[in-house]
């Protein structure tokens, strides 16, 4: 089927629909649920969709920004699951996996250059929320676009495009340092809810024992001196929340109201480091791996995010896989995460535990 362009396009469209469902439901929808709302409506069309949550109550502008980023975040997480599977099983990229990776990892790139005149544009909404919290014109779509092509500096993305276009199975390109050690670098633009665009650089490392993925992100907040006024609709929503007793008069919901006397703008630097070791050890059919991350970023959801100082945080998760049969495995994740923003992960501090069955066709 991969030799026929029409079959490839049909199967590629199926991959696109899965990515679209993931964007709307697992991204925007579940972020809303995580922040206390309920999924009111999910619309899936031929080439686009939308999600609407309700009963959010008091909505911090940082929460709104996180929900705007949710669709692209969760598809980035999906792309990493695809890449991890390819690395772990030493698989070449086939056209269908290529379409899946291309649409999921490329979701942010698409929104970065998508028309800003469309209603509900995720990155326009994100920029508006950043401006409310960090000053007028502190963020805009042009700033995001100036770094957007970083997402193309990804060997899995480039190989996926080639595989989907040609119908060929293609190995992930790598720089072979020695017979048993290779490296494949990548980069990405990370949009954060604390007013910083972070540049992430990393590498897939290939060894005889296990593949490893490492990454490092660095950014700096982009605050301005002037407050961004609320729109008439935002003022009405604020007054409604006050009248319903959900917030008190004077609560800011994270809005920056201007510098104080003799105060200067402090743009804090932010950074993070992460590592994924796919196999720490293996006993019979049981394999254990590790995901870990460490970061320094301003605390989320405080009353005055403009002046929030950086705090350190971490995440550590053990990944287990037990092969029941050649086609079925029991997989589990167990760990802990402190409060902080990691794309596709919970925002508050939380233990992490998940168990699932995995079946391969």
pTM here is: 0.91
pLDDT for res 158: 96
What b/e sequence results for 95-133 when a residue is b if at least 16 CB atoms lie within 10 Å of its CB, and e otherwise? Answer: bbbbbbbbbbbbbbbebbeeeeeeeebbbbebbbbbbbb
pLDDT for res 242: 81
Q: Which of the residues in the chain have pLDDT under 70?
A: 57, 250
Instruction: State the Cα–Cα distance between residues 239 and 334, nearest whole angstrom.
Output: 43
101-143 per-position pLDDT tens digit: 999 999 999 999 988 887 779 999 999 999 999 999 999 999 9
Helix, strand, or coil (residue 104): helix
pLDDT for res 57: 65
Instruction: State the Cα–Cα distance between residues 196 and 307, nearest whole angstrom.
Output: 14
* Number of structural domains the chain divides into: 1
Structural domain of 295: 5-359
């Amino acid at each position: 089927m991969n030799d026929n362009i029409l079959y490839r396009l049909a199967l590629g469209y199926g991959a696109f629909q899965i990515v679209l469902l993931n964007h709307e439901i697992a991204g925007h929808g579940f972020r809303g649920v995580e922040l206390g709302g309920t999924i009111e409506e999910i619309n899936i069309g031929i080439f686009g969709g939308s999600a609407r949550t309700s009963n959010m109550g008091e909505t911090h502008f940082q929460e709104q920004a996180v929900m705007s980023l949710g669709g692209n975040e969760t598809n980035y997480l999906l792309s990493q699951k695809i890449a991890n599977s390819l690395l772990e099983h030493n698989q070449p990229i086939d056209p269908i996996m290529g379409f899946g990776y291309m649409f999921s990892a490329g979701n942010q790139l698409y929104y970065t250059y998508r028309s800003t005149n469309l209603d509900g544009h995720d990155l326009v909404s994100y920029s508006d929320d950043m401006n409310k919290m960090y000053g007028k014109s502190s963020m805009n779509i042009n700033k995001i676009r100036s770094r957007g092509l970083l997402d193309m500096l990804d060997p899995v993305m480039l190989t996926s495009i080639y595989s989907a276009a040609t119908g060929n199975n293609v190995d992930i390109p790598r720089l072979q340092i020695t017979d048993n050690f290779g490296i494949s670098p990548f980069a990405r633009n990370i949009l954060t809810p604390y007013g910083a665009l972070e540049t992430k650089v990393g590498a897939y490392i290939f060894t005889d024992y296990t593949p490893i993925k490492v990454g490092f992100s660095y950014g700096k907040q982009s605050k301005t001196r002037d407050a961004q006024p609320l729109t008439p609709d935002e003022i009405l929503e604020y007054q409604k929340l006050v009248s319903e007793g959900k917030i008190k008069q004077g609560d800011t919901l994270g809005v920056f109201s201007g510098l104080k006397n003799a105060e200067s703008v402090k743009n804090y630097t932010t950074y993070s480091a992460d590592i994924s070791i796919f196999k720490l050890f293996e006993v019979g059919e049981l394999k254990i791996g590790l995901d870990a991350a460490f970061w320094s970023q301003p605390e989320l959801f405080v009353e005055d995010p403009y002046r929030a100082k950086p705090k350190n945080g971490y995440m550590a998760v053990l990944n287990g896989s037990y092969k029941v049969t050649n086609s079925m495995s029991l997989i589990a994740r167990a760990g802990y995460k402190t409060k902080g923003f990691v794309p596709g992960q919970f925002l508050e501090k939380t233990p992490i535990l998940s168990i699932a069955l995995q079946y391969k066709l």
